[in-house]
Amino acid sequence: MTTIFEYAPAPESRAIVDIKPSYGLFINGEFVDGHGSSFKTVNPATEEVLAEVAEADDADVDEAVRAARRAYTRVWSRMSGAERAKYLYRIARIIQERGRELAVLESIDNGKPIKESRDVDIPVVAAHFFYYAGWADKLEHSGYGSTPLGVAGQVIPWNFPLLMLAWKIAPALACGNTVVLKPAETTPLTALLFAEICQQADLPPGVVNIVTGAGDTGRAIVSHPDVDKVAFTGSTEVGKAIARAVAGTDKKVTLELGGKAANIVFDDAPLDQAIEGIVNGIFFNQGHVCCAGSRLLVQESVADEVMERLKRRMATLRVGDPLDKNTDVGAINSAEQLAKIRELSDIGEAEGAERWSAPCDLPTNGYWFAPTVFTGVSQAHRIAREEIFGPVLSVLTFRTPSEAIEKANNTPFGLSAGVWTDKGSRILSMANRLRAGVVWANTFNKFDPTSPFGGYKESGYGREGGRHGLEAYLKGADA
């Protein structure tokens, strides 16, 4: 029998954040009014409008790219690596100092639980700036040369707004490039607070430019003729459009796209740990994770036991107010994303899979989806093939390691995988056969700036993080 505990609410105060009624674009070190229109950003947990944000048009993007080019030519590329490092260290320290403010703002604008933004997103953001600050004066030892590319145009998604910004901006700046970055249209606020941090750190004007907007603004960045490098994280569909847009130009490109990771549980695995790993794999950040363990492959002999324990654990997940420190699963980021999750889940049921959702009371306002698991899933089902990008797990079974490998690799994606066995004993025989950029052994969703991250197949190309992450922003050893 499951005991459901009652918890007193423990909300984090939002008094620490100062959300302005409207925001301009951050170009050449200043906030300026755009030439275009504006859009609203909404708190997905309440549907409250948080702010009106400028929508950059082609002329605004052109201004931002010009500012980045001037800063590149006159200041940033001429500065020694050691000097650039000082700015990056300063930014990293300010991120730590303003960590609570950043975490609260991220949870309000994105819907993720405060315990995740506070304990995962923001510390890893700061760690990224510290890590790449350390490389800035050691690039000649990177193996990729030390010559920057120029102006980088960077477009990011909404699932880890500030973390994706850090993955893009920290290595670019460390290598001597300047940037024009566009955050996602549903989560612009922490990028705009980061712009304030750049001012606070006295970063030379134009080294970082933040232009807000939706797909058209992203397109304008990607197709701007004076952008030397395009770095994109987002859906495979848009990634393909970007690859087409830059084909035939000499722009360097990295694409970090979608995933449909297998989390593989063998019958000798420590099941208590594995259950936590399955839960973390798919319900962390509401499942809005490119490398989420959205396909559970469980060995047939333990499938019943794993499912029973998993449902028992899922029933204890607390879904609700992202600012409550008890919350495990927050709000879905937008009405559009919620509609996509609902649609694919309904298709799963129509295709014959069996659906089970954790019994939880969902708030009436905002966008919510209960943690859900599908059993009786076959390889042909759309819920086994397509990225749902929400708190929905599809369960398949296998008998032998070869069958597990075959099923795990039977996907157009190749971003990550998890393998659960006794003391990690099977990891060496499995890892090389899994077509995935990251393979975790007896853990899942662990991120570290020293470790490269990226995909195979339709999950994209190029690596972010670690020494490998420098390659995307340098001309190469022979340059």
Interface positions with ligand NAD (CB under 6 A): 155-159, 182, 184-185, 214-215, 218-219, 222, 233-235, 238, 241-242, 256-259, 290, 387, 389, 415, 455, 459-460
Nearer to ligand NAD, 56 or 353 (CB): 56
Of the pair 259, 366, the CB lying nearest ligand NAD is at 259
> Is 290 a catalytic site residue?
yes
Structure-block tokens of residue 451: 């470790």
* Active-site residue identified among 256, 387, 458, 464: 256
Min. distance of Cβ 281 from ligand NAD in angstroms?
Answer: 14
| Contact predicate 217/55, CB 8 Å | yes
Task: Kindly tell me which of 389 and 420 has the beta carbon lying closer to ligand NAD.
Answer: 389
Going across the sheet that includes 438-441, the strands are 354-357, 372-375, 392-398, 295-299, 262-265, 416-420, 438-441
Q: Residue 402: CB partners within 8 Å, gap ≥ 6?
A: none
Smaller CB distance to ligand NAD: residue 155 or 436? 155
Cα–Cα distance, 449 to 92 (Å, whole number): 13
Whose Cβ is closer to ligand NAD: residue 222's or residue 360's?
A: 222
Q: Is 374 helix (H, G, I), strand (E, B) or coil?
A: strand
Q: Give alpha helix (H) positions in 184-246.
A: 189-200, 215-223, 236-246
- Which of 156, 269 has the CB closer to ligand NAD? 156
| Token pair recorded at residue 450 | 């020293």
The strand pair at 416-420 and 438-441 is best described as: parallel
The nearest distance, CB 31 to ligand NAD, in angstroms, is 20
Name the DSSP class of 469. Answer: G
List 175, 198, 290, 360, catalytic entry:
290
Instruction: Compute CA 459 distance to the chain's CA centroid, rounded to the nearest angstrom.
Output: 13
Which distant-in-sequence residues (6+ apart) come within 8 Å of 351 by Cβ?
A: 381, 382, 383
Residue nearest ligand NAD, CB atom distance: 218
Please, which residue, 136 or 238, has the CB nearer to ligand NAD?
238
Tell me whether residue 198 is one of the annotated catalytic residues.
no
Shortest Å distance, C-beta 130 to ligand NAD: 20
Minimal distance, residue 6 CB to ligand NAD, in Å: 35
Least Å from the CB of residue 174 to ligand NAD: 19
8 A C-beta contact, residue 349 and residue 360 = no
Amino acid at 196: E
The whole-angstrom separation of Cα 323 and Cα 335 is 19
CB of 216 to ligand NAD, least distance (A): 8
Rounded to the nearest 10 degrees, the angle between the axes of helix 122-135 and helix 161-174 is 10
| Minimum distance of ligand NAD from residue 219's CB (angstroms) | 4
Please choose, from the candidates 345, 376, 386, the residue with its C-alpha nearest in 3D space to the C-alpha of residue 260.
386
Distance separating alpha carbons of residues 399 and 387, to the nearest angstrom: 25
Supply the residues annotated as catalytic.
256, 290
